[in-house]
Amino acid sequence: MASTAEPSSSPYSSSAPDADILRSLRRLARDLAAAAPPAPFLRAVFASVSRRARLLVAVFDDLLLALGAGAGMPRSASLCLREVLLVLQRFKAVVADCSARSRMRLLLQSDEVAARVRELQHDLATLLDILPVGELGLADDVADLLTLASRQCRRPAPEAAAEQELKASVLALIQEVEREIVPERERLEAILEEVAINDPASCSQEIEILEREIGDRLAERWTSAMIALVGLLRYAKCVLFSAATPRPLDSKVDADDDDAEPLAPPPDFRCPISLDLMRDPVVSSSGQTYDRESITRWFGAGKSTCPKTGQVLTNLELVPNKALKNLISRWCRENGVAMEGSEPGKPEPAPPVAANKAAVEAARMTASFLVKKLSASFSPGSDNRVVHEIRLLAKSGSESRAFIGEAGAVPLLVPLLNSEDAALQLNAVTALLNLSILDANKKRIMHTDGAVAALCEVMGSGATWRAKENAAATVLSLSAVHTYRRRLGRNPLVIEKVVLLVRTGPPSTKKDALAALLCLSAERENVGKLVGAGAAEAALSAISEEETAAAVLASLAKRGGAEAIVNIDGAVAKLVAEMRRGTEWSRECAAAALVLLCRRAGAAAAAQVLAISGVEWAIWELMGSGSERARRKAASLGRTCRRWAAANAAQNADCPASTVSPPTVAAS
């Protein structure tokens, strides 16, 4: 019995039935007839495509009726219609490609788009001319439609004077910005209106698409102009659409619930190695996807197997998984999750946009406008909108951070850290975090009255965990400078609040707080205060959750905290367990911490290490499979334990010496 479903053969196949070809032709023609122009300035170009497609719909309908009535189709006509199908498919691809482009890139490349459409129309006219109309038995009026469609396809395209004028206006505006001429509001508004960018959402979307196109190098000829337009659009967004209210970034988290944890990413978005959200997903030769940093560290340890499947990789090449990265970026935007780098406390990343003269001047104008607006604002709602834009601008590049700092934003942002408005507090602390990447802004923050105290207040009683986390990340960023690290360490409130976040925070907050502890512990004079505030106990409580915890303990042990760590009940046992089951880096840090404890605390530490069952296996396994540094530390730990055991045996001949030696392995 014949099925009414479409055959499995593709309509593009030479074996596809003529009826399938005609149905596909009719569907494509209807799609093209109904397609909206991808931009207002290309309306004339794509309106002509739509008109031709409407004529062809009637032709294909008539042919399907004739075919259904039992009339056959000559082979020459069948072959010709298959070629028409390919041309219509190319038309549809052009429409889809143009719809996916940024409006500004489409304007810059409008000549190329129009030329492509003219070329396809010429191909279509040629095929319609050679179609054997007489053999198809078409009605006279339908045959006239084919003739009309062919004639229209060959008609010369009208001069696109308005389109070229708009393009010239945009390029002239870029040149004026390069000469430090501030664009007139009315002129800027008129240009954006002509490209259908008329609200903050469309402006933000245009900026995002442009940045992605620049990063993907999709239009090398126009890259410089596109970079300038990103800066110009940021300026326009602030000047023209500043009344827009930003979407709360913590919309998925109740701002009044201190126990609410940030949304967990879907399993497919997590790296199989680190279990963290992937920031730069790449595909290995085994077909598995990992975060680039994690898999690079895996390969750097001398391993050539797939971590997930265990198979030996034919090569170590990594291919970016752009589709997954786009999905992760969309999920982050929809759920208010920052796409920061995988390093703890790393501020929001700047898009891959290199600065040029026009972009730099546009950033300067935007920074000046925003800071002046913030200084004159008296409304919390208005403050939040402006601070949100400062936050976004501060992550766009070092020049923007410099301009915002020079314009005097830091003293205006610091009081907002104490705001009762959760969204405003989060935007303010994140803006300071992004600004703190620049050393000059670190100085401005540290020299602003009340800045450190306000950060401590946010860490202690911030409205959301995101705000607390970003405050800890700002402390981490500031402590990267030696003198500021010492100043922060002398402030007992800073240490108290960071330790509190390690104890009580959710995983992402704990991660940033541990990173801040690690940086602060690099200064010897801070270690006593850290130990006194319970930093070692806090790190031990997180050792099985965050790999940075073992690094914190190693740093404390190295600079005077060894005895305090040894005296904590179960500390040595937890370090041995981490050396056995942790991540590659945490195993390395745990081994380093144990070596330091044995050297600094002597017999008390060594006795605890050797009293743990299976420690010999853990040391021996790390010597065989760890990183180069981990192998050295494991070997050092083994020697230290053997020396202590030998010395202990000499003092107490009745107690057999325990030694750390390779376990006996049966020969294969």
User: For residues 651 and 375, which has the higher predicted lDDT (pLDDT)?
Assistant: 375
Query: Please, how many CA atoms are within 13 Å of residue 617, restricted to the half-sphere of its CB?
Result: 8
| Cβ-based neighbour number of residue 188 at 10 Å | 18
> How big is the CA angle at 636 (ends 662 and 551), to the nearest 5 degrees?
115
Most confident residue range from 252-256, 294-298, 301-305: 294-298
For range 239-256, the mean pLDDT: 52
Sequence ranges of the domains in the chain: 18-158, 162-242, 267-320
Cα 87 to Cα 130, 278, 474: the distances in Å are 14, 40, 56
pLDDT of residue 15: 58
A 10 A CB-CB count for 560 gives 17
Higher pLDDT, 138 or 260: 138
For residue 264, pLDDT over 80 is answered with no
Q: 457 — phi, psi (to 5°)?
A: -65, -40
* CA 542, chain centre distance (Å): 27
Instruction: Please state, rounded to an integer, the average pLDDT across all residues of the chain.
Output: 83
3-state secondary structure 148-176: HHHHHHHCCCCCCHHHHHHHHHHHHHHHH
pLDDT the model gives residue 663: 46
Mean pLDDT computed over 229-242? 88
Check: CB of residue 524 under 8 Å from CB of residue 278. no
pLDDT given for residue 147 in this prediction:
87
Q: What's the rounded mean pLDDT across residues 640-660? A: 66
- pLDDT digits 0-9 by tens, 70-103: 556 788 888 888 999 999 999 999 998 998 889 9
3-state secondary structure of 39: coil
Per-residue confidence (pLDDT) for residue 549, from 0 to 100: 92
More confident residue, 273 or 537: 537
Across residues 151-163, what is the average pLDDT? 79
What is the spatial distance between Cα 321 and Cα 281, in angstroms, rounded to a whole number?
Answer: 5
What is the domain class of 267-320 according to CATH?
A: alpha beta
Cα 9 vs. chain centroid, distance in angstroms? 40
Residue 398 has pLDDT above 90, yes or no: no
Mean pLDDT of 638-660: 67
Q: Which of 141-145, 253-257, 324-328 has the lowest mean pLDDT?
A: 253-257
Task: Identify whether the C-beta of residue 208 lies closer than 8 Å to the C-beta of residue 196.
Answer: no
Residue 645 has pLDDT above 60, yes or no: yes
CB 34 within 8 A of CB 155: no
pLDDT at 161: 77
Identify the pLDDT of residue 12: 46
CA dihedral over 129, 132, 136, 141, signed as positive or negative: positive
163 compared with 336, residue with greater pLDDT: 163
Residue predicted with more confidence, 344 or 16: 16
CB 490 within 8 A of CB 484: no
Q: With contact defined as beta carbons under 8 Å apart, do 114 and 38 qualify?
A: no
Question: Is the model's pLDDT at 261 over the cut of 60?
Answer: no
Asked if 382 contacts 391 with a C-beta cutoff of 8 angstroms, the reply is: no
Taking residues 424-444, report their average pLDDT.
Answer: 94
CB atoms within 10 A of CB 69: 8
**Which has the higher per-residue pLDDT, 163 or 274?**
163
Say which amino acid occupies 12.
Answer: Y
- Minimal CA–CA distance to 393: which of 431, 427, 425? 431
The pLDDT of residue 528 is 92
Among the ranges 49-58, 344-353, 469-478, 579-588, which has the highest mean pLDDT value?
469-478
Give the separation between CA 92 and CA 90, rounded to whole angstroms.
5
Q: Which residue has the higher pLDDT, 327 or 57?
A: 57
Residue found under tokens 């400078």: 481
pLDDT tens digit string along 20-77?
888 888 999 999 999 888 888 888 888 888 988 998 988 888 888 877 655 567 888 8
Smallest CA-to-CA distance from 195 within 101, 295, 297 is with 101
More confident of the two residues 660 and 396:
396
Q: What is the pLDDT of residues 494-512, one digit of tens each?
A: 999 999 999 999 988 898 9
The pLDDT score that the predictor gives to residue 68 is 66
Judged against a pLDDT cut of 60, whether residue 661 lies above it is answered with no
CA distances to 60, 79, 83, 209, 642 from 15, in Å: 20, 11, 14, 41, 78
